[in-house]
Amino acid sequence: MTNNQKVGWKLDNSYARLPETFFTDVMPSSVRSPRLVILNQDVAESLGLSVEALQSDDGIAVLSGNKVPEDATPLAQAYAGHQFGHFTMLGDGRAVLLGEQITPAGERVDIQLKGAGRTPYSRGGDGRAALGPMLREYIISEGMHGLGIPTTRSLAVVSTGEPIIRETELPGAVLTRVAASHIRVGTFQYVAKWCGVEELKILANYTITRHYPEVKQSATPYLTLLQEVIKRQAYLIAKWQLVGFIHGVMNTDNMTISGETIDYGPCAFMDTYDQATVFSSIDTQGRYAYGNQPYMGVWNLARFAETLIPLLDEDDEKALKLAQEEISKFADLYQANWLTGMRAKLGLFHHEEQDETLIKRLLEMMGKYKADYTNTFRALTIENFNDESALLSSEEFMDWKTEWEQRLSRQEESKGSSQQLMKQSNPSVIPRNHRVEEALKAAEDGDFTVMERLLKILADPYAYSPDQEEYCKRPTTKIPYRTFCGT
């Protein structure tokens, strides 16, 4: 039996059959002494991989980049992007795509090593990653998966036994990322800018085949592709807003065409409700603040639409008008997703005209009283209004609560049904920033039990179980929280 058969690798690389300008063949760089830090059994089994074989020396060699599976065709993808509004050439500067695993369900998913060494797109970087940021991506992506939000996932993190230099010397690591694909808005920007219309058409057709096969039946496939990508992003960003997730670096190279959340660098979850919340140390102007995420989403989608202009119509003016019409629909799509989600968070099954006002009044009060976003909805869900929250003890909240209860009473559904809907829509726990940092610090000191406990809690955030109580608490420190991109 070959090592491929032992592990369960069934790799192909359809991306490698695209024009050579789309990527560069590159091997992952070997590391000194790889050690498996964490393996995601759930992801491994969904991929059809043997957990036992992945934990072997041969399995760890692949996860670290020291060995390449037999059918892998490693490459680094080229792409461009608007980074904080400035357009530039990018590409996989520290990631290597091993190939696409064909899962037992017949799905095709990317297997990528992040932190696997320098590539032609490294732009002066070392191509490596530190243990902390890789474990952070593992924790947050698993938290997002538990919350039911489309996301890339992590198969494993392997420490390299080699230090890397950032502000200080840090332990190195490689993360194995699993994604529907790594095709980004920035991928289309790269091809539109530096390749020809024929190559653009090839990329669009490939994307349709891989992610939107139903679009092939459309009389206007490229316009329909744009429509579908807009729909997925409107859904995704609404999901972010509903749980208080802040991506932190919504550059066009970090928006996937598949509609998955990708790149968990300076991301974080909001504690105190505030539309202006920013955690990223590099977002000094608040471009990607919590409240700006829907606007930045449509801005990114407009950049995607621009790349498709040559495919939408032979008449550029007509093509531009078609693109603008579709982009203009994002706001309504997003708002519909967000309102549906907010109604569910308040236990409302049906539409009433004044619902939006009811929701906005609650959010305004949360901002005024600096209330915890997640815990406010948790309190409404379990009817716990006895804590010391300034919001919940205020007279205006009690007036709002009366109005909300009257709204609930006008439904045919029972109070129990409403509460169940709220439990399914309001997480009891999120990856709170102080808990994530606590886990990362312990891991960097060699203690992985703190992270393992956190991951267990985050696996079922809607459980409302007694063991989640401790993880619902806000941080005791008032020090402003800051995140960093890890490169």
In the block, residue with structure tokens 């009060």: 365
Mean of pLDDT values over 435-461: 96
Q: Are residues 146 and 237 located together in one domain of the fold?
A: no
Task: Encode pLDDT of 197-239 as tens digits.
Answer: 999 999 999 999 999 999 999 999 999 999 999 999 999 999 9
Predicted confidence band of residue 479 (pLDDT cuts 50, 70, 90): low
Three-state DSSP class for residue 459: coil
Query: Does the residue 475 lie in any domain?
Result: no
The secondary structure of residue 49, as a DSSP letter, is -
Query: Does the residue 56 lie in any domain?
Result: yes
Q: Please, is 168 exposed, middle or buried when counting C-beta atoms within 10 Å of its C-beta (0-12, 13-18, 19+)?
A: exposed
> Which pLDDT value is given to residue 282?
86
Q: Are residues 163 and 207 located together in one domain of the fold?
A: no
Q: Are residues 120 and 197 located together in one domain of the fold?
A: no
426 in Cβ contact with 381 (< 8 Å):
yes
Domain that holds residue 146: 3-179
The secondary structure of residue 26, as a DSSP letter, is -
Domain boundary residue, one of 153, 179, 205: 179
Q: Are residues 189 and 175 located together in one domain of the fold?
A: no
If you write DSSP's letter for every residue of 340-379 in order, what string do you get? HHHHHHTT--S--TTHHHHHHHHHHHHHHTT-BHHHHHHH
Q: Are residues 21 and 170 located together in one domain of the fold?
A: yes
Q: Are residues 132 and 274 located together in one domain of the fold?
A: no
- Which residue numbers are catalytic? 253
Please state the domain count of the chain: 2
Q: Are residues 168 and 254 located together in one domain of the fold?
A: no
Q: Are residues 22 and 152 located together in one domain of the fold?
A: yes
In the block, residue with structure tokens 């005209």: 353
Q: Closest Cα to residue 142, out of 469, 482, 451, 468?
A: 451
> Which pLDDT value is given to residue 433?
94
Q: Which amino acid is at 303?
A: R
> Which pLDDT value is given to residue 312?
98
Query: Does the residue 355 lie in any domain?
Result: no
pLDDT greater than 90 at residue 280? no
Percent of the chain with pLDDT over 70: 98
User: Longest Cα pair distance anywhere in the chain, in angstroms?
Assistant: 71
> Which pLDDT value is given to residue 294?
98
- 3 compared with 467, residue with greater pLDDT: 467
Q: Closest Cα to residue 32, out of 164, 210, 144?
A: 164
Query: Does the residue 409 lie in any domain?
Result: no
> Which pLDDT value is given to residue 418?
97
Q: Are residues 36 and 161 located together in one domain of the fold?
A: yes
Q: Are residues 209 and 282 located together in one domain of the fold?
A: yes
pTM: 0.96
In the block, residue with structure tokens 């977002």: 283
User: What integer best gives the mean pLDDT of the chain?
Assistant: 95
Query: Does the residue 156 lie in any domain?
Result: yes
What are the residues facing 151 on neighbouring strands? 261
Mean of pLDDT values over 85-98: 96
> Which pLDDT value is given to residue 478?
72
> Which pLDDT value is given to residue 1?
55
